[in-house]
Every structure is written in C-alpha cells, then in structure tokens.
Structure 1
Amino acid sequence: MADVIDSYQKVFSLIGEGSKSVLYGEFHLEQWRTAGITVSSWTEWIIFLLELKPTLGTMATQDSVYSDYTIVAPEMPAMFDGMKLAAVATVLYVIVRCLNLKSPTAAPDITYQDTPLNRFLLKSCPILTKEYIPPLLWGKSGHLQTALYGKMGRVSSPHPIGLRKYLPMQDGATATFDLFEPMGDHRTGDDVTMVICPGIGNHSEKHYIRTFVGHSQKEGYRCAVLNHLGALPNIELTSPRMFTYGCTWEFASMVGYIKKTFPHTHLIVVGFSLGGNIVCKFLGENRTNQERVLCCVSVCQGYSALRAQETFLQWDQCRRFYNFLMADNMKKIILSHRGSLFGSATKMEDSDLSRLYTATSLMQIDETIMRKFHGHNSLKEYYEKESCVHYIHNVDVPLLLVNSADDPLVHGSLLTIPRTLAEKKQNVIFALTLHGGHLGFFEGAVLVPQPLTWMDKVIVGYANAMCQWEKQKPPCQKSGNLSTPCPEEKAA
C-alpha cells in the first residue's frame, strides 16, 4: 500500500498544490509514466484511475493535506474514442462482408463448344461476354438482389396491355395466358413470338414479367405469357388441379394455340426459374414440340428437383429460410382455392389440409398435396418425373442456360448439370454470372437500379442474334423445318 500511495502522491505533485480535484484522464499515459508510475497498457491505466478514489481516502487518513482533494469524473477519457472507432470499423467490416463489396465485377463465365453458330451468337450478343456491373452499394449481394426481385420485382415497371385467353383442358382445367402484340416491326421483318413461362406461382401481372414483356414488345416481339394454373388470384380453378413443378400441359396448350393462330410465326421459348424447368422439359418430351422454335432461354432454374430438395433443407446461404418463405406463399395459393381442391368431389382429404397448415417446407407441401395431382406414388417419383434433367438432352434447338453463382436458391452443385450439357452438346451455351441473385440481375451506378435488368437485355439480345442467324440461312435449313430437305440431301 505504501508503494501505491507513493505513486498517487507523485500524481498530485504533477497536478499542482493549488488544485483540489483530480480528473480521470487528466494526463496522457506518457505523463503518468513521467511520475514514475509503471503502466504497461491502457487497461492497467484504467484500473489505476479507478482505484484512485479509494486510495485517496486512505491517503487522507494518513496526511490531512489530502483531505480536501476530490475525484471528478467528466466525459469518457480520450482512449474511448479509439473504442468507438473500433466499433465503427467492426460494423463497416460486417457491412462489407454481408454486401460482398470486395467481390470483383466480371464478365459471365461462358461454357460452350466452338461452332460457327455459337461464335456468331456471342459476337452478335456482346452483353454475354462483357462485364456485368451490379449497383455498387448492394448489387453484389445475392440476397439483396433476390429480396428486391421478390418484394418489388422491378423499378418503374411498365403496364403492357394484353388480351387474356382461356383454353379448356381435357381434364376440365382451364389454362389462361395473356397475349401482347408487338409495338413495331421486328428488325428482321419476320413474325416472331416469345412464349414465356414465369417462375413458381407467378403470372403475367408480376413486375419482372411486365418489364420483360414491355422491352420485348419494343423490339418487335409478340409475347404470350402463361399464367400458372391457380396463380392468378381472381381466376377460379375449374378442376381439382393446379400447377406443379414440371407439368407442361398448360404451356403446351398455349404454344399450340400460338402455332395455330399465327401459322407463320417463329417461336422464342423463355422460362424463368420454375418456368425454365417447364420449357426445357416441354421441348425435350417430344421432338415435334421443337418445330418452328428458333431457340430457348432458361434463367435461374435448378434442373433437378430431387437434388435440389436436399439443399433446400440446409441453412447454407439461408436456403432453409427461403424454403420456408416459398412454402408459406404456396400455402396461400393452395388455400385460396380450397373449395376447388378440397371439395367433396376431389381426391384430397381433410388430413391433407391439416398437414398443409403445419407445413414449413416445399417438400412437405409436395408430399402432402402436389404429387397427388398427377398420381405419383412417392415424392422421389414426383421429383424425378417432373425435372427437366431427364429431358433436356433431347433439346436440339439452340439453348441458352443462365444462372448466377450467388443465387441463394440454386445450390452450386446443381450447376454441374448445365455445364456438363454445354460441354457435350453443340447447341447449348451456359452463362454463369458472378452476381445477380435469383432473377435479380439489376444494373445501376450506386444505389438506384435501372428499370431494365441485365437479364432482360441478354434474353432479347440473344433472341435478336438468333433471328439474324435464321434470316441468313437457306429455307431448307430453317429452324423447325423437319420436312424440306436441302438439295444435297435430295440427291443422296
């Protein structure tokens, strides 16, 4: 104790005889050391100051000269500014990591075979080989890209005016699609129609669909957009069935209508997310489905539901949370058609409805409800038969498959499917972007994204290139021409 008191006496001698108070933080560390006080760290310095008040009481009992001294604790010592700075730095570090700000921008990773057609397409659609630059502050986060798409869809989305068509199906269901006419002639002078299949539970009124349709109309394309069975809130089901992961019946009905109504039109097939699975499966199911089809574009699909279901139960990239959100949305769609799906004349039972209420994942809903629409005996059978992975190798028309590496819904292991396909088949190009999330692909300078996304530009750019390629071919080589052989084939 004598050594401690001696140290504090030196402190008071530095303050001065006229001073009757000692302030915490009055002197810097170096000044304490000048007084002969050994303090090796800021922590020891804080302890030294905190012990000053009780020690002063002991000193006053020994020498009355110290009885008039008091301890005054003003604002935090200067050293706490460093702590504040450290806290700010920590927050900034977390922001940088969460927003992935250190990730570089890059051109898509393209997998393809070196053929005249592929070289022409990549040259005529340069956006595929140029750097994709997302908005600076948040665009490198796949979660924020996905969230913005999910909640807002697009920025300043247009309102294209279309005509709704109703198509009766053999099982009593009624398929609907919206038809949008082009705003001008196509650059090739040809009649070209985009046949579009939206994502899970989506329809023509979704913002991202409206934005894409508006852009396509301006480029001279007619657009036909399928409304998934049961997705439109104001359209009642006419049979105890709704859309599933890979049912192509409604899409096939829409394509058949377009081919019959516009006998000279060429088709560009486009699918988003779940819609990408449906269109690729449709084209691969029967070779006649590829007639008059110039090309197909699939964006952000998962290719195999069986392999994807395992990843959807993992917390990696918050995938389990997204699974819960999508399951909740599916429950709302199903329950909105409760009367049609769970009526007395349906195959659904009250126990199915009870299990639906407690479901927290898409797999539980698929097991309880979805697989039964087509009589599948098990969830595995349902996923196997509804996934395009077993059909896509039969697609012979030019096929562009687009995915994003930071898509929180599509696990990286699923991307070996399109990459392997592009390595084996000459008609396939696989484009993998570094950023974009799930159906996001926003572009912009810093904060506010542009109305048109990279995805919209790529699809239309690829379609334009394909139309130009088709225009310069002789009639016997036109896409979908299965009946008119070329002269050399006749001679053979």
Structure 2
Amino acid sequence: MPIITSNFSPTLPFKNSHFNTMYRPLFMKDVCNYKRKRITTWDKDFIDLDFSFVGSKTLVLLIHGLEGSSESKYIASNSNYLNKKGLDTVCFNLRSCSGEDNLLLSTYHSGKTEDVDFVVNYLLDNYNYDSVLIVGFSLGGNLTLKYLGEYQQTLSEKIKGGVAVSVPIDIASAEIEMEKLKNKLYIEMFFKTMKNKILEKAYKFPEYKLDKEQVFKATKFKHLEHLYTVPVFGFKSPEDYWRKASSKPYLAKIDRPTLLINAKDDTFLSAECYPRKEAIQSNYFYLEIPDYGGHCGFMSSFKPQDNNWLEERITRFMEENIQIEIS
C-alpha cells in the first residue's frame, strides 16, 4: 500500500523525542479496571489475560512491549479509548509480566509467536466474537507483525487485521541503535527488571548454570541474550535469535489490513525499521512515519484532552481500512 502521510503535529516540547517518550509513563495517569483470566498453557505454564468488556462483538487483543504489562500507560489508555468506542479489549500479559513470575525457566522473547497463536486460539474457542484485531507496541508490535505473516495460512477469518506501534522490526540493527549513548537511560531502566528476573530464574532453576557475575556486568542486550535467551530458547547465538525473531521478513506475507506506525525520531529504531519498500509492494501492509512521537509516546501537548492522537489513529484505521464498526 502507499505510505500514509501522517497528520501528527505536537506542540514544541513534545517535538523532542526523549520528552515525548518519557512523558506518557511519567505523567499520564491512565488506569483500566480489568477482569483477569488465567489460562493454562500446553507446556504447563500460565498466561494472564486482562479483559475490559463493554458488550461488543469485536475484541481487540493488546500486546505490550519489553518488560511492560496491562498496567503500561499506553496499554491502559488504548484499552479505555477502545472501550469508549464500543470495543472489548484484552491485554495479553507476556509470561512473567503480569506481576507474578511464571512457572517455567523460559519467559518470552521478541519472536515467540507460538504464545500469541495459543492466546488467539483460546479467545476464538472460548468467546463468541465476530472480529478480533491485534494491536502491539514495541516488542509486542514485533510479535503482532510476525504472527500475522508467519501464521497467515492458518489464521481464522475472524482475525481481521492489526496495528503495530514503535516496532524494532529488524532486531539486529535496532540493537546497535539501542547501544548508543542517547539510549543509555532506557537500557538501564530495562536492565533493572530484566537482570532481576534472570537472577530469580537461576535461583529457582539451579540446573540452569548461570554466570551471575556476567549478568551484573551486562551492558548490552546481546550480553543478556547470550546468557539467557540463547540457551533457554535454543538459539545458536544472539545473531541467530535476531534473524529468527525479527518480523521484517514476514511483512510481505501479511494478507489482511495491517498498519505500522514508527516515528521518524524514535531513538530505538534503525533505518532498517522503516520498511517503505515492503509497504509499497504490499496490498495489505500500511506504513505511517510521523516526524515526531518518540517511542510509544505520541503525546501532543500538556492538555490531557489533546493526547489521544495514537488512540484515535488506531481506531480510525480499524474503521476505515478494516471496516470495523466504531460507535
């Protein structure tokens, strides 16, 4: 599809990428009253799903980013907005992210679409919805895009399409970008919880021979991938993981309307994360590149009533491109 011209135009302080990225988690007060459903997985683990019902025949599955949850501000705000527009929502808390550690040594990673498929099929089998849409943010956006392409031949007709926001679709180059000085604070924030989780897993599973000293010394995602993601999930190397987990190779296989919104000033993203060629050559994959927005930010001003551009954009795509009835 043609690349979409974006109309996102924030006020001056929000044109700073870091300001826009940090404003939502630090100052927005979005909360959502969920009803939690814990489901048992095929591998004897559990996944927590947080629902917000308004009596719709359409369900929007929300997938958070790295170390996020249903409590993440961008998840809560989108859930509330979609509810106001007459749509039910459910947040898929990735394993270990719901506030309680999961039961297995393995948790989640950027390409673990078998969990997405399990959740989607659970929803289709146990709830009577006419339409299901998937909306993912950052790592959750990578899962969304990869899933829609990778499982394209077996997807139910009820899966109508999706939206992905602030997505590192090419993990190898995005990690190089994340290692730059401009992202040092974000890395430290991610690592605070990631390292603690890995150390806790090592305590619970002593057969997992973890070099704890190397965990403390880790300064790059690649270091933690070498210590945890690669051995636990069976990859050959971090490079093998990047290649297999990235959603970019699957974009051409997407066969239902799907939108990717990646801000031009997102400091997490490399040039390879703006798939213009893939969008132009596809009949279903749309790409929008706002000049501003940061990473999962897209805040417009200090006035709360002005800060729903992202939520409105997602619902407008559903209405105009997927023909979902919005109230």
Please confirm whether the aligned pair reaches a TM-score higher than 0.5, indicating the same fold: yes
Say which of 80, 86, 90 aligns to 1:224. Answer: 90
- Matches of residues 375-386 of structure 1 in structure 2 within 5 Å? 375-386=234-245
Asked if the contact 1:211/1:452 (under 8 Å) is kept, the reply is: no
User: Counterpart in 2 of 1:459?
Assistant: 314
Once the two structures are superposed, what CA deviation does each residue of 1:29-52 show, in whole Å capped at 9, x if it has no partner? xxxxxxxxxxxxxxxxxxxxxxxx
- Matches of residues 30-45 of structure 1 in structure 2 within 5 Å? none
C-alpha deviation, 1:358, in angstroms: 1.5
- Matches of residues 410-449 of structure 1 in structure 2 within 5 Å? 410-411=269-270, 413-416=271-274, 418-444=275-301, 447-449=302-304
- Matches of residues 272-283 of structure 1 in structure 2 within 5 Å? 272-283=137-148
C-alpha deviation, 1:145, in angstroms: 0.6
Task: Give distance in 2, aligned partners of 1:439 and 1:135.
Answer: 17
Task: Give distance in 1, aligned partners of 2:316 and 2:243.
Answer: 33
C-alpha deviation, 1:440, in angstroms: 0.7
The letter for the 1-side match of 2:11 is P
Once the two structures are superposed, what CA deviation does each residue of 1:435-471 show, in whole Å capped at 9, x if it has no partner? 1100110122xx4444743111100111122453799
User: Counterpart in 1 of 2:209?
Assistant: 349
Say which of 105, 112, 115 aligns to 2:2. Answer: 112
Change (3 A) 1:325 1:361: farther
User: Counterpart in 1 of 2:266?
Assistant: 407
Q: Tell me the matched-pair count.
A: 325
Once the two structures are superposed, what CA deviation does each residue of 1:30-82 show, in whole Å capped at 9, x if it has no partner? xxxxxxxxxxxxxxxxxxxxxxxxxxxxxxxxxxxxxxxxxxxxxxxxxxxxx
Asked if the contact 1:400/1:431 (under 8 Å) is kept, the reply is: yes
Asked if the contact 1:180/1:224 (under 8 Å) is kept, the reply is: yes
Asked if the contact 2:6/2:288 (under 8 Å) is kept, the reply is: no
C-alpha deviation, 1:132, in angstroms: 2.0
Once the two structures are superposed, what CA deviation does each residue of 1:381-435 show, in whole Å capped at 9, x if it has no partner? 1111111122222111111110101111112x1234x211111101121100011
C-alpha deviation, 1:308, in angstroms: 1.6
User: Counterpart in 2 of 1:180?
Assistant: 52
The letter for the 1-side match of 2:279 is A
Unaligned runs of 5+ in 1: 1-110, 114-127, 186-190, 472-492
User: Counterpart in 1 of 2:21?
Assistant: 146
C-alpha deviation, 1:129, in angstroms: 5.2
Once the two structures are superposed, what CA deviation does each residue of 1:246-286 show, in whole Å capped at 9, x if it has no partner? 11233222211211122442011111011010011112222
Say which of 154, 157, 168 aligns to 1:288. Answer: 154
The letter for the 1-side match of 2:196 is K
SS in 1 for 2:248: helix
Q: What TM-score, normalized to structure 1? A: 0.62
Asked if residue 323 in structure 1 is aligned to residue 220 in structure 2, the reply is no
Task: Give distance in 2, aligned partners of 1:350 and 1:274.
Answer: 25
- Matches of residues 473-484 of structure 1 in structure 2 within 5 Å? none
Share of identical aligned residues, percent? 23
Change (3 A) 1:265 1:133: same
Q: What TM-score, normalized to structure 2? A: 0.91
Task: Give distance in 1, aligned partners of 2:107 and 2:33.
Answer: 26
More relative contact order, 1 or 2 (CA 8 Å, 6+ apart): 2
Asked if residue 169 in structure 1 is aligned to residue 41 in structure 2, the reply is yes
Say which of 32, 37, 45 aligns to 1:160. Answer: 32
Task: Give distance in 2, aligned partners of 1:302 and 1:130.
Answer: 19
Unaligned runs of 5+ in 2: none
Asked if the contact 2:6/2:290 (under 8 Å) is kept, the reply is: no
Task: Give distance in 1, aligned partners of 2:298 and 2:108.
Answer: 26
The letter for the 1-side match of 2:23 is L
C-alpha deviation, 1:202, in angstroms: 1.0
The letter for the 2-side match of 1:112 is P
User: Counterpart in 1 of 2:249?
Assistant: 390
Between 434-443 and 390-399, report the one with greater CA deviation: 390-399
C-alpha deviation, 1:164, in angstroms: 1.1
Change (3 A) 1:430 1:327: same
Asked if the contact 1:167/1:253 (under 8 Å) is kept, the reply is: no
Asked if the contact 2:5/2:289 (under 8 Å) is kept, the reply is: no
Asked if the contact 2:39/2:46 (under 8 Å) is kept, the reply is: yes
The letter for the 1-side match of 2:62 is I
Change (3 A) 1:258 1:224: same
Asked if the contact 1:403/1:433 (under 8 Å) is kept, the reply is: yes
Task: Give distance in 2, aligned partners of 1:221 and 1:426.
Answer: 26
Change (3 A) 1:290 1:362: farther
Asked if the contact 1:295/1:399 (under 8 Å) is kept, the reply is: yes
The letter for the 2-side match of 1:135 is T
Asked if residue 297 in structure 1 is aligned to residue 163 in structure 2, the reply is yes
